[in-house]
Homo-oligomer: A and B are copies of this chain.
Amino acid sequence: MILFNSDYIEGAHPSILDALVRTNFEQTSGYGEDKFCEEAREIIREHCCDKEIGVEFLVGGTQTNVTVIDAFLRSYQGVISADSGHINVHETGAPEATGHKIIALPTTDGRLTLQQIKECYDSHWSDPAHEHTIQPGMVYLSFPAENGLIYSKAELTDISQFCRDNKLYLFVDGARMGYGLCAGNSDLTLADLAHLCDVFYIGGTKVGALFGEAVVFSDKEMQRSFRYAIKQHGGMLAKGRLLGIQFAELLRGGSECIYFKAAKHANELAKHIRDTFEEQGVPLWINSTTNMQFPILTKEEQMFLARKYKFEVWGKYDNERNVVRFCTSWATRPEAVEELCNDIIQMKTK
């Protein structure tokens, strides 16, 4: 069985394991206050072209989302999110468990638009009984979104401007950040994100690390309070060095760093899968340029491929077809993709 069902089915990029072995017996302070974390912070500041940003490291995505939301918002403030957003769908009510309502907006393509953020905001404040409804306090969006689509620099700039004008925090979930930044049609950089967001994170778990998410704050002062929030939310790793070692390893080397190379590798393989589906007349649900591709398969096609490959059933398309998801990652072997593509061709030529 070859697994394409997600981008966290292997361990870590070998360089990371090497680094862990290499540093194993060095003695350091705990909780992210060691030299490895400092080095990783410095590297991230360079990527962001900003010496004033704050950086903290957490273990996983749900933990990071909840900690950020709870650290930034008052309990009567809610988070504007696409209704398909990870915080709304796949976190077992974690943000609500810390007291924050999600203001879930329906989308046409999984991405929030400035227009709907604006309408949501205006509708709250124009209601004379506004204190009877949750106050919008933050805009949450994922880059790339759950379906692999990305925001352009122009789109993000407009949303950022609206947020700043109206005192809404802008928080970008970058669990798959690398795949988004390295998409062929992306015009965003880490420096742009640091400039446009109040807070965002660079996801490690799904892009080469064993685990880890690096949270970047535009305002360094916020970092101090945030450490309390991390600890309180159970996100402060005793051996914090493990996060510093991994992010230093992934991001060292500027535009040539492992993180970007791994992401490009995955995107290219995904494009090959996508092209093959298209060439064989299998329609795609959405125009993703990142590491997730969503072909629409008939039940026979689905069953044919499921014999040998594991992939996720994303949803029902119509009575006879499902949307399924194929994921590549930093670890996907080109030969595995080749084999899949051959099977796609065979599937259609039977």
Contacts and interface: CB of A to CB of B under 8 A. Distances in A.
B134 A92 contact: yes
Quick one: copies of this chain in the complex?
4
B63 A228 contact: no
A97 B99 contact: yes
A319 to B, nearest CB: 16
Top 6 A-B pairs ranked by shortest CB distance?
A63-B234, A93-B101, A76-B228, A11-B24, A93-B134, A96-B101
Nearest to A18: B21
A58 to B, nearest CB: 8
A102 to B, nearest CB: 8
B76 A232 contact: yes
B76 A238 contact: no
Contact of A9 (B27, B225, B227): B27
Contacts of A1: 27
Given A133-B92, A225-B76, A205 B238 contact: yes
A26 B8 contact: no
A284 interface: no
Interface in A221-264: 225, 227-239, 241-242
Nearest to A75: B97
Given A76-B228, A134-B92, A236 B10 contact: no
Interface of A: 1-3, 6, 8-12, 14, 17, 20-21, 23-31, 59-64, 66-67, 70-71, 74-76, 78, 89-94, 96-102, 129, 131-135, 205-206, 210-211, 225, 227-239, 241-242, 331
Contacts of A27: 1-3, 9-10
Contacts of A225: 74, 76
B62 A97 contact: no
Contact of A239 (B99, B205, B228, B229): B205
A143 to B, nearest CB: 18
Contacts of A237: 59-60, 211
Given A96-B101, A229-B75, A9 B24 contact: no
A72 to B, nearest CB: 10
A211 B239 contact: yes
A76 B92 contact: yes
Nearest to A99: B97
Interface centre among A1, A64, A98 (most CB of B within 10 A): A98
A124 to B, nearest CB: 11
Interface centre among A21, A59, A100, A132 (most CB of B within 10 A): A132
